Structure 1
Amino acid sequence: MDKTSPSAAAAVADIGHGASVAVGGFGLCGIPSTLISALHTQGATSLRVVSNNCGTDDHGLGILLGAGRIARVTGSYVGENKEFARQYLTGELEVELVPQGTLAERLRAGGCGIPAFYTPAGVGTPLADGGIPWRHHTDGTVAIASPAKETRSFDHRDFVLEQAITCDFALVRAARGDRHGNLVFDKSARNFNPLAAMAGRITIAEVEEVVEPGTLGPDEIHLPGVFVQRVVALTAQQASDKQIEKRTVQL
């Protein structure tokens, strides 16, 4: 039952080339930065990443992206990462854009063993009808476009069928956790972390504070240890290394 790994490097050592990886976080909030750094050092390439976004140019998944180690991204937001946009538009990166709520539910469904579900989000748009560019040619023309999805009417309202997402691995970050893998997330850092963890066949959690089993009350656990296979205890320095995406001050 002791799921602790000796280091982040040991925890990600078996993530191979071409592996699919669900990654928690939202922007730079709650990202598993230590595990991402270890994966960068480890050297796996052609990764297929599922995450709300790809961090920024210099932090989070942006590090792997900048090194050319990501082949495909399933996410909701390109925004703060210019390199992400450049690679997508020049055909270096395949991108499947998904409405944020749909992405969350696809991850949750994968973790719950639900193969697919119907949602009204995207009905009557290219998301359902197909044709959204997934990959471009170098000249900017479309190389691969999204396929049409099944739609169905329930109670005189149309819905589109979305498939669940499961990944080979998942990387997440938690504020507290025990050696059995039970996790607690801090406020907004909870974001996509529990959902990504559920979708991974092997889920690796970096934890700011690791406590003994039984310390966490059942009602305060956000993610049961059944979804977590490896726990990495962060050092004090790693735990405090939290980047701010957009610094604002009040005069």
Structure 2
Amino acid sequence: MDKVYGSAAEALDGLLQDGMLIAAGGFGLCGIPELLLNAIKDSGVKDLTFASNNAGVDEFGIGILLQTRQVKKMMSSYVGENAEFMRQYLSGELELEFNPQGTLAERMRAGGCGIPGFYTKTGVGTVIAEGKDHREFNGETYIMEEGIFADLSIVKAWKADPTGNLVFRKTARNFNPPAAMCGRTCVVEVEEIVPTGALDPDTIHLPGIYVHRIVQGEHEKRIEQRTTRQKEAS
């Protein structure tokens, strides 16, 4: 089965529909599947729900889909740095399901492992726990969180081989692997495709069994917060 496609639009062909749940990788502006997000924007699909650590920023990441009103709901742990996100949420135009960061990652991983739910202490006694099942384990209260089973996963990796084995770089490894796992179909964009057998098995972060389609492309290296200081006089 040939998993390599010529463009992001080709890789998403036949997979998009209104109202679907999409799990998207990325942490801040690191490891965002920007080519696939642009292709989703161009497709015109709407009423989308995104499970993603964050919503990018204005003009980049999921932020571009917020600007075109293609997103109905966000399942996120961090929603700063995006003025349009804030405006839509406060005006009631956008649904928001807050998740603690570790809980969101585990919900994705659980979905990828076929686990429908799990119990965690994170969020107990806060608004996060409202309406959720509570149970006692060894005298401690836990709440149940459901695994995420997305219609589609879109992620970004550093390297892939044609079978879909993936290697991520540094911070991009935080949410991309669990996001990739929980989708019924996973599409990945990569910086480099190497020949089968070129990747050391011990360096592979996600096996190709989770990956259905691959596209290679050029990516923008954005910095979310640039902090500088004046050069000291010599």
Q: TM-score, normalised by structure 1?
A: 0.89
Match of 2:74 in 1: 73
- Identify which of 162, 165, 180 aligns with 1:179: 162
Match of 1:246 in 2: 225
Identical amino acids, percent of aligned pairs: 53
1: CA distance between counterparts of 2:222 and 2:19? 28
2: CA distance between counterparts of 1:50 and 1:12? 18
Pair 1:6-2:19 in alignment? no
1:163-212 CA deviation, whole Å, 9 max, x = no partner? 00010001100000011110000111112000100011110000100011
- Could you tell me how far 1:249 is from its partner in structure 2? 2.2
1: CA distance between counterparts of 2:228 and 2:92? 38
Match of 1:86 in 2: 87
Of stretches 10-19 and 116-125 in structure 1, the one that deviates more from structure 2 is 10-19
2: CA distance between counterparts of 1:53 and 1:44? 20
Q: Partner letter of residue 177 of structure 1?
A: A
Contact 1:13 1:42 (C-alpha < 8 Å) held by counterparts: no
Q: Structure 1, unaligned stretches of length 5 or more?
A: 131-147
Contact 1:3 1:179 (C-alpha < 8 Å) held by counterparts: yes
Q: TM-score, normalised by structure 2?
A: 0.96
Match of 1:215 in 2: 198
1:125-147 CA deviation, whole Å, 9 max, x = no partner? 2211x2xxxxxxxxxxxxxxxxx
Match of 2:153 in 1: 170
SS in 1 for 2:39: helix
Of stretches 241-250 and 16-25 in structure 1, the one that deviates more from structure 2 is 241-250
- Could you tell me how far 1:52 is from its partner in structure 2? 0.5
Q: Over the residues paired in the alignment, what is the CA RMSD in angstroms?
A: 0.9
- Could you tell me how far 1:53 is from its partner in structure 2? 0.7
Q: Partner letter of residue 124 of structure 1?
A: G
SS in 2 for 1:247: coil
- Could you tell me how far 1:97 is from its partner in structure 2? 0.4
Match of 2:60 in 1: 59
- Could you tell me how far 1:153 is from its partner in structure 2? 0.5
Of stretches 113-122 and 13-22 in structure 1, the one that deviates more from structure 2 is 13-22
1:6-29 CA deviation, whole Å, 9 max, x = no partner? 210111232111111000001111
- Could you tell me how far 1:124 is from its partner in structure 2? 1.4
2: CA distance between counterparts of 1:188 and 1:55? 15
Q: Partner letter of residue 60 of structure 1?
A: G
1: CA distance between counterparts of 2:70 and 2:59? 14
Q: Structure 2, unaligned stretches of length 5 or more?
A: none
